[in-house]
A and B are shown apart, each in its own frame.
Chain A
Amino acid sequence: MGIRILTAQMHIEGIQQLDVYRRHGGYEAFRKVLNAMSPPAVLEEVKLSTLRGRGGAGFPTGMKWSFLAKNTGKPAYLICNADESEPGTFKDRYLMEKNPHLLLEGMMISAFALEAATAYIYIRGELFYVHQILERAIGEAYAAGLLGKNILGSGFSLDIHCHPGGGAYICGEETALIESLEGKRGNPRIKPPFPAVSGLWDCPTVVNNVETLAAVPWIIQNGGKAYAAIGVWKSTGTKLMSACGHIRKPGVYEVEMGLPVEEFIYSDEYCGGIRNGNQLKAVVAGGSSVPILPAALILKTAKGEARLITYESLSEGGFESGTMLGSGGFIVMDHTTCIVKNLWNFTRFYHHESCGQCSPCREGTGWMEKVLHRIETGHGKMEDIDLLSDVAKNIEGNTICPLGDAAAWPVRSTIRHFRQEFEDHVNQKRCPFSK
């Protein structure tokens, strides 16, 4: 069993409560920061840890923080992105539900480092009960003097507000999130400017994922070097993987970066192997938007090396034969899965969630969905397969925000690796998997 950073305390009865959290060492890191550290010193530790953003893109957190515009005469804001809506991803929900104070402590330390007096949690609207858990934890923190003015006599003041979204996946994109927080329609902004320069109310803003911020207390308590010592190369620390699909033990697992994918799927400590002793067919390793890989390529790279759970190993081979770690939403499919139907389902999601601002995504996602529906229901033509791939290619890279790419990658990768299955649908004029 590897080291636990984010989930170490989750088995403790009542850990959602402030006093229990404190009894188990909670808020010690924040106290250490208030008593003995300066904002640049905190930033330095986070840089040393080489922690990378867990929201999907894997951007180095310390570097992101250091880009925050300084001396602008405007306040700086910290936003915690808790909109988690990507199919297959449910790790942030788990973390907030089980240990809300860990996130709050991470936000307090991060806000201190960024010299932000106000921080927001933008939480997915459907997670109403988690919102309540967070509100309760925030209330406790205010009552204990851990939030508010002049926290514990340190001179540092911080307010944290929790804001529920209205149920749009696109509001997880950081600039759409900011628009939504400002009370506007959740459309992604055109970048640049980036939030670090002009974010919430045109002020310098850092947006970080829940899991990213929750790793910060441990980094402060144990040092950035200790965090960087875990994992492999530029993938340090631990990662929450939300595993689902045709495995024996779906759930959220904390893994040390560098764990072999094969072990993750088959070990009883994690996914416990494929259900009913079935054959592994394909895996979407990092949430629905990353390229799908067939069994052979998810277990081993094209060069024959064992595939590891790291940013680098999963993307080994580029999009030809690799994928991405993304958000850690690990979707496993066995040999009974219709890959076309799965793709249709994903595409339907992106079509539904496109904000509609830019033409390639607005029009292309709907087009792909319709063609996929035809193929799946036995009305497809051979030319449709290349058409699909081409439409995806024309969306990719030509849009305002990465949702367009997220819609295109599954289509292109599924056709790349499972073309035969599309042809079978066309030839048999039906879905070969339907009974």
Chain B
Amino acid sequence: MPLFKVSIDNITVEVEPGTTILNAARKIGGKIVPPAMCYYSKLKGSGGKCRTCLVKVVRTSASDPRPMPKLVASCSTLVQDGMIVENTISKEVLEARKHVVEFLLINHPLDCPVCDQAGECDLQNLSYEHGVSGSRYEEERRTFERIDIGDLIQLHMNRCILCYRCIYVADQLTDKRVHGILFRGDKAEIGTYIDQVIDNDFSGNVIDVCPVGALTDKTFRFKSRVWFTKPYDAHRECSKCKGKAVLWMSGKEILRVTARKDAYGEVEDFICNTCRFEKKDLDDWTLEGPRNIKHESVISQNLYELIKEPPREPPFKKK
């Protein structure tokens, strides 16, 4: 099948039919890629919800030169041959996105100073780039009690943006789903069925897919700000997953283990709970080297190198 030509912010790219606008933009890369808070390429059915990825289609296709009547979610709209899309060059898109960010923030607690996700939070990054500094919201914010989902994961529903990613993880990665959305509208919350435990080898991945600090690793809770830790790529032999992870270290101590994430914050390979929660000893792992976090984040400010053993030379040369 011939490739489709699509132009995004005046940059042309050729993609397979069946590609979404967002993925076409990711193929181009850089600043023209719309932000995505709910879409996750590895999770079937994800996307369409947060509306941060809205773009303007000024020409539907070569054969249908009409614009699409409304802004569309780029993560769930397929490209057509000859489509022309505007993202950062459209005032309308930027304006709409600013207000989507506003909607996402009005009920968000803005408790970044005490939130474990700070520094690696998609919502923090999004509001920094696309939001406004003040808030027009004067009403009371929605609040929920904190919930322990078992003894390894904590749910902080106040921070949740209802992206549904964790639901898809529970649905698609774990064999018995006990995790879902309860209630409706702004009363909707993430919940587990009755006993509030997700008892499964892959349940910890809900932490990695969460774009905010709603699902956090209890074994890491308040241990350190992420930007004070040093991430290293490491691997181990594992019978359940590929064993490829990132170790978040302080000195020789492993504070946290996560999956490896790409430039769009998506994990490369999901990891199992054994690797994530139980292997906190350096002897468990083979270190590969420092992890370069590409995502625009304070962590990237913390540039460092893997310490190599210095040459074994005495301090003073023998005369």
Contacts and interface: CB of A to CB of B under 8 A. Distances in A.
Interface string B148-180: 000000000000011010000000000000001
B197 interface: no
Interface residues of B, number: 34
Interface string A384-398: 000100000010011
Given A168-B184, A351-B185, A398-B100, A359 B51 contact: yes
Interface size class of A (residues with CB under 8 A): 20 to 34
A360 B162 contact: no
A358 B50 contact: yes
B186 A398 contact: no
Main SS of chain A's interface residues? helix
Interface stretch (A11-19, A88-96, A143-151, A361-369): A361-369
Interface in B222-267: none
Nearest to B100: A359
Contact of A367 (B104, B137, B180): B137
Contact of B185 (A185, A353, A360, A387): A353
A354 interface: yes
Nearest to A394: B99
Given A362-B185, A370-B139, A397 B103 contact: no
A400 B48 contact: yes
Given A362-B188, A371-B139, A398 B51 contact: yes
B76 A190 contact: yes
A399 B72 CA distance: 9
Chain B facing A: main interface SS = loop
Contact of B104 (A357, A363, A387, A398): A363
B70 interface: yes
A397 B106 contact: no
A356 interface: yes
Contact of A397 (B48, B71, B137): B71
Contacts of B185: 351-356, 362, 365-366
Contacts of B142: 366
A365 B188 CA distance: 14
Interface in A128-176: 168, 170
Contacts of A170: 184
Contacts of B210: none
Interface of B: 47-51, 54, 70-71, 73, 76, 96, 99-100, 102-104, 106-107, 136-137, 139-140, 142, 161-162, 164, 180-181, 183-188
23 contacts: A185-B181, A190-B47, A190-B48, A353-B184, A354-B184, A355-B185, A356-B181, A356-B183, A356-B187, A356-B188, A357-B48, A357-B164, A358-B50, A360-B99, A362-B103, A362-B162, A362-B185, A362-B188, A366-B107, A366-B142, A367-B137, A398-B71, A399-B51
